[in-house]
């Protein structure tokens, strides 16, 4: 055996230059060779003893975490929210109480149905979720770029998403909407028709994240210092304006540059062209909610801006790209239940289901109950409680007291820990609640077409043409003729011209019958 010069290290070894930090293992031990596994002689077997190689491979083997069950593909950006108009008469949340106040934020934009590696310009809803790191804890506004949703009740969500994702036997098509399962489910779920009009519109193929609106969708509550409640819907209005691509462009862009939207956002921020959105609120009281022709707890309905104007109260500026995509964009955990004093929930059955779902999924996706300790999720205000332990606990209670009530404190030399505060702590709005346990909703939940029609007729002729083209494209990909016909049977309730255009587009000889309408008559709303 030839003599080996051990001072040279193995092949391909990059020697540290003067300024380089010395590489270490995760245990902090300096590493001498990052390229060659320890072996018994130059041609001998690898030694298991090599803790450097084993730790490196072990860590690599565990790099993946589950992608989000929906909204898997997303792009996150830091920024801040500046309040321009204080609204103490509506909410005692500190974020809303002093004009000029700045609150740090993290916003994640996403598509819904595609997996983590899917293309940006799929025809799909876009998520628009913002975490406000307020002085009183994190407030998450977890919205979309479309003001309504497919379903009225969270119990339907797993079916909706199963139908939208690739079919379980063949695992295709991965294109978001164009397939039998999706249109089968949709055509059997008439409450989705309003949302379908939006996703068949140009809104579902935005030019970039910077040119989209955002909506909190649900009705929430604002509570003022006197404990008075107003209902509110939240809106994001892009200062860049609203722009979309056309379908032909979307197809080409997806082929040529599947990262089109994330690259656009990165480049805009990197070059100092910071995108901005105004935060608007539609505020209304119980009387309006009583008078309004639909139930304000129905997430498939909007409240027209002509009836309740949007009042602008602040501006979101996105001005900082992430340092690390995984640490921030992937590990961020939004949840509709993250609210602060002065903001409260409503009884929207979709919202209430979401409040359960996000926390539940994050327990698994982020590996345990301590994901609020991850820096991107950690509040930027003090966190004090008696929660302890669990996987990856970073902030356990200090000292002796980890329970309440306790009698440690003054005189004992021990800290007794924090106490809940009736004055400043979060209190739920004491909305009176009464009723039998039932699984039925208000009657107007069953009007599925009036606002769908209202949206369609509000579009320009060119936009209406795009919608007919989109429906024709989508339904032409559906193999089963009965599903195609059932969908057109719904379109006939919305607009016969649209139904006819799609019918001609997909080559049906005659217009299918209207789908029978359940329960309530359809209001004949003027355009
Ligand atoms: C994720 C919006 C309805 C369950 C998301 C995200 C957004 C969003 C923006 C991505 C958050 C991120 O970027 O990390 C909405 C809107 C809805 C809606 C606006 C209706 C108005 C629902 C419903 C459910 C649900 C009804 C379940 C019952 C989930 C889950 C995730 C998610 C499980 C993944 C969360 C995670 O892994 O962190 N949603 N969603 N969503 N949504 Fe929804």
Going by pLDDT thresholds of 50, 70 and 90, the confidence category of residue 321 is very high
Question: Which H or E run contains 481?
Answer: helix 481-494
Out of 78, 92, 144, 370, the active site residue is: 144
Is residue 144 flagged as an active site residue? Answer: yes
pLDDT of 516 reads 94
Test site for ligand 1: of 163, 358, 362, 365, most ligand atoms within 8 A of the Cβ: 358
- Reported as a single tens digit per residue, the pLDDT across 4-49 is 555 555 566 777 777 889 999 999 999 999 999 999 999 999 999 9
Active site residue 34: no
Return all residues near 351 (Cβ < 8 A) that are at least 6 apart.
218, 220, 299, 336, 345
Test site for ligand 1: of 357, 360, 362, 371, most ligand atoms within 8 A of the Cβ: 357
- The pLDDT score that the predictor gives to residue 17 is 79
pLDDT for 508: 95
Q: Are 176 and 167 in contact (CB under 8 A)?
A: no
Summarize the confidence of residues 167-188 as an average pLDDT: 88
CA 142 to ligand 1 center in whole angstroms: 7
**How many Cβ atoms are within 10 Å of 303's Cβ, its own excluded?**
19
Q: What is the pLDDT of residue 178?
A: 67
Regarding the beta carbon of 142 and ligand 1, being less than 6 Å apart is answered yes
Best mutation site among 65, 66, 67, 68 for ligand 1 pocket (most ligand atoms within 8 Å of CB): 68
Pick the residue whose CA is nearest to atom 10 on ligand 1.
Answer: 71
Q: What is the pLDDT of residue 5?
A: 56
**Cα 358 to averaged position of ligand 1 atoms, centre (Å):** 7
Question: Residue 31: CB partners within 8 Å, gap ≥ 6?
Answer: 22, 23, 24, 25, 52
Residue nearest to atom 20 of ligand 1 (CA): 149
472 vs 485: CA distance, rounded Å? 12
Indicate left, alpha or beta for 222 from its phi (over 0: left) and psi (-120 to 50: alpha): beta
Give me the catalytic one of 71, 179, 194, 493: 71
Whether 334 is in the pocket of ligand 1, judged by its Cβ within 6 Å, is yes
Among 9-23, 35-49, 74-88, 112-126, name the one with the lowest average pLDDT: 9-23
Ligand 1 pocket, mutate which of 76, 142, 327 (most atoms under 8 A from CB): 142
Q: Which atom of ligand 1 lies at the shortest distance from residue 215's CA?
A: 19
Lowest mean pLDDT among 7-21, 66-80, 113-127: 7-21
How remote is the CA of residue 70 from the centroid of ligand 1, in Å? Answer: 7
Ligand 1 centre distance from Cα of residue 449 (Å): 25
Give distance in angstroms: CA of 41 to centre of ligand 1: 55
The phi and psi torsions of 244 (rounded to 5 degrees) equal -130, 170
Measured from the CB, is residue 127 less than 6 Å from ligand 1?
yes
The pLDDT assigned to 417 comes to 95
Q: How confident is the model at residue 236 (pLDDT cuts 50, 70, 90)?
A: very high
User: Is the beta carbon of 195 within 6 A of some atom in ligand 1?
Assistant: no
More confident residue, 518 or 345: 345
For residue 425, report the phi and psi dihedrals to the nearest 5 degrees: -75, 165
Q: Which atom of ligand 1 is nearest to the CA of 360?
A: 33
Check residue 115 and give its pLDDT. Answer: 95
Give the per-residue pLDDT at 525.
42
Chain centroid, CA 208 distance in Å: 16
Q: Tell whether the model's pLDDT for residue 1 goes beyond 60.
A: no
CB of 156 shorter than 6 A to ligand 1: no
Residues of the chain above pLDDT 70, percent = 95
* Rounded alpha-carbon distances, angstroms, from residue 119 to 74, 91, 258: 11, 40, 4
* Ligand 1 centroid distance, CA of 157 (Å): 10
> How many angstroms does the Cα of residue 113 sit away from the middle of ligand 1?
11
Encode pLDDT of 459-511 as tens digits.
999 999 999 999 999 999 999 999 999 999 999 999 999 999 999 999 999 99
> Minimum mean pLDDT among 142-156, 220-234, 408-422: which range?
408-422
Model confidence over 364-403: pLDDT tens digits?
999 999 999 999 999 999 999 999 999 999 999 989 999 9
Is 71 touching ligand 1 by the criterion CB < 6 Å?
yes
Task: Indicate if ligand 1 lies below 6 Å from the C-beta of 299.
Answer: yes
CA R_g for the chain: 27
State how far the Cα of 465 lies from the Cα of 135, in Å rounded to an integer: 48
| Percentage with pLDDT > 90 across the chain | 90
Q: Are 342 and 86 in contact (CB under 8 A)?
A: no
Closest-lying ligand 1 atom to the alpha carbon of residue 353: 28
**Arithmetic mean of pLDDT over the chain:** 95
* Global ipTM: 0.96
């Amino acid at each position: 055996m030839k003599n080996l010069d051990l001072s040279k290290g193995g092949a391909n070894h990059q020697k540290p230059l003067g300024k380089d930090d010395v590489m270490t293992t995760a245990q902090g031990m300096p590493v001498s060779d990052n390229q060659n596994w320890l072996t018994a002689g130059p041609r001998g077997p690898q030694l298991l003893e090599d803790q450097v190689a084993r730790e490196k491979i072990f860590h690599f083997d565990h790099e993946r975490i589950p992608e989000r069950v929906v909204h898997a593909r997303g792009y996150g950006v830091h920024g801040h929210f500046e309040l321009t108009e204080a609204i103490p008469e509506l909410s005692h949340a500190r974020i809303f109480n002093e004009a000029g106040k700045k609150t740090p934020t993290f916003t994640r934009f996403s598509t819904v149905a595609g997996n983590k590696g899917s293309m940006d310009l799929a025809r799909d809803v876009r998520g628009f979720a913002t975490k406000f790191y307020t002085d009183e804890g994190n407030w998450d506004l977890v919205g979309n770029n479309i003001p309504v949703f497919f379903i009225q009740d969270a119990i339907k969500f797993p079916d909706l998403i199963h139908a939208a994702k690739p079919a379980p036997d063949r695992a295709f098509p991965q294109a978001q909407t164009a397939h039998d399962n999706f249109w089968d489910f949709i055509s059997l779920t008439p409450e989705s028709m309003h949302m379908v009009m939006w996703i068949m519109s140009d809104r579902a193929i935005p030019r970039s994240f910077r040119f989209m609106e955002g909506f909190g969708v649900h009705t929430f509550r604002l509570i003022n210092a006197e404990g008075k409640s107003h209902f509110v819907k939240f809106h994001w209005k892009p200062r860049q304006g609203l722009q979309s691509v056309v379908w032909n462009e979307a197809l080409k862009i997806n082929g040529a540059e599947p990262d089109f939207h994330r690259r656009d956002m990165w480049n805009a921020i990197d070059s100092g062209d910071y995108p901005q959105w105004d935060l608007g609120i539609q505020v209304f009281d119980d009387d309006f909610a009583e008078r309004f022709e639909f139930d304000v707890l129905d997430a498939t309905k909007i409240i027209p801006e002509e009836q309740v104007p949007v009042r602008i109260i602040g501006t979101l500026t996105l001005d900082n790209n992430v340092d690390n995509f995984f640490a921030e964009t992937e590990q961020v955990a939004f949840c509709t239940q993250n609210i602060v004093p002065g903001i409260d929930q409503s009884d929207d059955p979709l919202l209430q289901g979401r409040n359960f779902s996000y926390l539940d999924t994050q327990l698994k996706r982020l590996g345990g109950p301590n994901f609020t300790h991850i820096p991107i999720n950690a509040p930027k205000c003090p966190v004090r409680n008696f929660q302890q332990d669990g996987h990856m606990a970073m902030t356990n209670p200090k000292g002796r007291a980890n329970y309440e009530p306790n009698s440690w404190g003054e005189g004992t030399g021990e800290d007794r820990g924090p106490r809940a505060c009736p004055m400043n702590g979060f209190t739920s709005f004491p909305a009176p609640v009464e009723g039998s346990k039932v699984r039925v909703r208000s009657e107007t939940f069953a009007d599925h077409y009036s606002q769908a029609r209202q949206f369609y007729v509000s579009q320009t002729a060119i936009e209406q043409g795009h919608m007919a083209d989109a429906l024709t494209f989508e339904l032409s990909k559906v193999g089963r003729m009965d599903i195609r016909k059932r969908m057109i049977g719904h379109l006939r309730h919305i607009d016969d011209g649209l139904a006819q255009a799609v019918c001609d587009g997909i080559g049906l000889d005659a217009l299918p019958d209207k789908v029978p309408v359940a329960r309530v008559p359809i209001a004949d709303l003027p355009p």
